[in-house]
Amino acid sequence: MLEYKPIIQRIISDLFSEKKIEVCVLRLDLIHPQISGNKWFKLKYNLEEAKKQGSDTILTFGGAFSNHIHATATACRMFGFKSIGVIAGEPDYEENPTLSEASAMGMYLHFVTRNDYRRKTEQVFLDELSVKFGNVYFVPEGGNNYLGSLGSSEILNGIGDYDYVFCSCGTGATFSGLAASIKERQHLIGISALKGEGSLVTETQERVNLIRRKYDLKIHGNTELLNAEFLNKSGIINQYHFGGFARHTNELLDFKMNFEEQHHIPLDYVYESKLFYAVNDLIANKKIPSNSKVIVVHGGGIQGNRGYENRYALNPKRNVNDAQG
């Protein structure tokens, strides 16, 4: 298995100095070139469990530009598993960098309609896949199960003492794992990449709470930080989705470009750009007290930038007014 040694980088900026707040980044994106960010933590115990159950094949789910699909294909190749990716969309997506590389690493890509993909958690659909592919070990989309959260609970090991922990939030596996491991006085804030209440972010909250209840992942720290209009009950802020999952605005693109040029930390479009924008905005608007120490968990996902830029015809070195909103 991969060895984890935390890499922490402090961000120096006039804003943070003015507000008297120390901001550091936990560079999970540097763990491995392909299995980067939180993906490894969500996969490690699932791979161990598959081996215990005598399965040599991992079957998982993802979209055409999924970081999870890419990381799973890599991890399976490294550790001697076959892999199957159930992909939402049409087979011509196989031409994109994420899926073409996953295929080159040995993953069999099984394309399904979007309607069928929505059945990915239904037992009847899983049984159909078992009949088709045999004795496979299922890993949910994004590694969102107890073992994924258990692995994520190790992310903060050995990082030192911080008042506030921020992470991006999609399926909720990383968030719930961090919630099970933060210290009593710490605050955990998830920045959702999904769009508002009543939509996918509500599903994320429900998944987080389900994992907590079903597997007794205790909340050791404080997930209450901001006023009610900014923070929902699960400690997930949903005001920074920029139009929804895999969406952006000119403002977000400008922030990403300027942040990367200033701090030399690459960000992805889907999760981490929104996360770091939110941290900057909350500090600028005095939502984090002075003299606080903040650590931002960089969840990786950089490989997805290529497909995202192709999809939206983006130039990563764009001028400020060239964005596609």
74-85 residue pLDDT tens: 999 999 999 999
pLDDT at residue 231, as a whole number: 42
What's the sign of the alpha-carbon dihedral 245, 69, 236, 15? Answer: negative
| Whole-angstrom distance, CA of residue 131 vs CA of residue 108 | 16
pLDDT at residue 75, as a whole number: 97
Query: How is 258-322 classified by DSSP, letter by letter?
Result: HHHHHH-----TTTHHHHHHHHHHHHHTT-S-TT-EEEEEE---GGGHHHHHHHHT--TT--TT-
pLDDT at 223 over 80: no
pLDDT at residue 226, as a whole number: 42
197-215 residue pLDDT tens: 545 556 666 666 676 677 6
Intervals of CATH 3.40.50.1100 along the chain: 8-34+155-312, 39-143
Structure confidence at residue 247 as a pLDDT band (50, 70, 90): very high
pLDDT at residue 125, as a whole number: 97
The CATH architecture that domain 39-143 belongs to is 3-Layer(aba) Sandwich (3.40)
Does domain 8-34+155-312 bear CATH number 2.60.40.10?
no
> Across all residues in the chain, what is the average pLDDT?
87
| Whole-angstrom distance, CA of residue 325 vs CA of residue 315 | 13
Q: Which of 59, 66, 76, 72 is closest to 127 using CA atoms?
A: 59
Residue type, 75: A
HEC assignment per residue over 228-244: CCCCCCCCEECCCCCCC
pLDDT at 89 over 70: yes
Contact assessment for residue 43 and residue 140, using Cβ atoms and an 8 Å cutoff: no
Q: Considering the entire predicted model, what is its pTM? A: 0.90
The single-letter DSSP state of residue 136 is P
Structure confidence at residue 34 as a pLDDT band (50, 70, 90): confident
CA 304 and chain centroid, separation: 12
The single-letter DSSP state of residue 222 is B
Strand partners, 164: 187, 294
pLDDT at 141 over 70: yes
In this structure, of 97-106, 124-133, 229-238, the range with the lowest mean pLDDT score is: 229-238
Contact assessment for residue 67 and residue 99, using Cβ atoms and an 8 Å cutoff: no
